[in-house]
Amino acid sequence: MSSSALKPLAAGHGPKKTIFELIADPRASQHLPSLSTVLRELEDLAGRNNVMIQEISRLIRSDQSLAVRILRLANSAYFAPAEPILDVDQALIYLGLSHVRTTIFTTRCIEQTCNISSELLPWKEFWLHEVAVGFITRILSQHMEERPLTPESYYIMGLFHDIGKLALAYLAPDDFTMVLTQARERHCDTSQVEFELLGIDHATLGAWYLQQQGLPAMVFEPIRLHHAWKIEGRQATLSCLLCLADRIAHRFGLGCSGSFVEAGGDMFAWEEWQQYEKRCDHKSEAEVERHRGIIQTELSHVPDLIHQIVA
C-alpha cells in the first residue's frame, strides 16, 4: 500500500467534511486496507474443493511469518498434540482447513493495518482484542442449537466487529483521536462518543466497509447491531452473540480497542449470556452447569491461541 493511499480524505484545504460526506465519497473504500485481496488469496489457497495439501503447504512455506504462526498454533495448549509438530504439512493436516484459513486471514489483516501510527491506534492491542473476540465468538457458536454460519464465518464476524474504528482512523484521524480522547477521559464506550460527535458509530461504519469489501450481510449486519442487539430482527441472535463475546474479551483484559466496557460481576448473570443460553440445547440444570464448565475451560485457552497468531 503506497503512502499516498494512507492520506485521509479529510485532509486538505476547505471546510471540514462530515463523516457522512467522507463515506459517500467513491474513493473512500480505496483509502482503506483492502480485504478483497485477502479474500481472493483465501479462495485461491483453500477455497477449492480439490485443493491439494501440498499446494497450501508450498505457499505457506514461502511466507516465514505465516509458517511460524501455523506451527505455533498446531503446538498450542488448545490443540495439545501428543508430540511436537515441526513440519508444516503435518501441522496443516492436524489443524484442519478451517483453522488454517483463520490463521491466514488474520495474519494478512494484521499485516495490512500495522502501519497505522500507534499514537492514533495501538494496532497490536487492537488486533489482540479483535482476535480474542473472533475466537470467543467461534467457541460460543459451537454450543448453539442452530448455527446459520460456518465456524470460520463466526470467527471472521468476531474478528471484524470493531473494523469501523479502523475505517474512522483512516478516513478522519482527527475525529478518531477526539473520540478516543473523550472515551478515555469519560471511561465509556467509544460508540457513545461517536454518536455525540459524528452522528454515527463504528459499528455502522464497519458494516459499511465490510459491505464495500464484498462480505455477506449475514456477517456485516450483526456487526452493525452488536451495540444495539436488543433491536428486533432476524440478526438479533448473532449480534447478541457478538456483543457477549466482546464483553467476555474485555472482562479478561484481552487486548484494547479504545473503549471502556463495564464487564464485571457474574458473567452468567449478564443479559447477553441469558439470551445466548436460550439458543443452546440444554434440557436440564445439570446440562446448563456442564455447558458453562466446558465453555470456561475452552475460554481459558484463548490467550494462548491469540499469542500464536498475533505475537
Q: In 3D, which of 33, 38, 20 has the Cα closest to residue 204?
A: 20
Q: In 3D, which of 109, 154, 103 has the Cα closest to residue 133?
A: 154
CA distances in angstroms from 92 to 152, 154, 187, 217, listed in the order given: 16, 21, 43, 30
Q: Please state, in angstroms and rounded to a whole number, the distance separating the CA atoms of residues 23 and 30.
A: 11
Residue 138 has what pLDDT?
Answer: 93
| pLDDT, mean of residues 266-275 | 91
Domain range annotation of the chain = 34-113, 118-311
Q: In 3D, which of 198, 277, 192, 196 has the Cα closest to residue 237?
A: 277
| pLDDT, mean of residues 55-77 | 81
What's the pLDDT band for 9 if we cut at 50, 70, 90?
low
Instruction: Name the residue with higher pLDDT: 271 or 21.
Output: 271
Residue 236 has what pLDDT?
Answer: 77
Q: Please state, in angstroms and rounded to a whole number, the distance separating the CA atoms of residues 107 and 134.
A: 13
CATH 3.40.50.12780 fits 118-311, yes or no: no
3-class secondary-structure state, position 280: strand
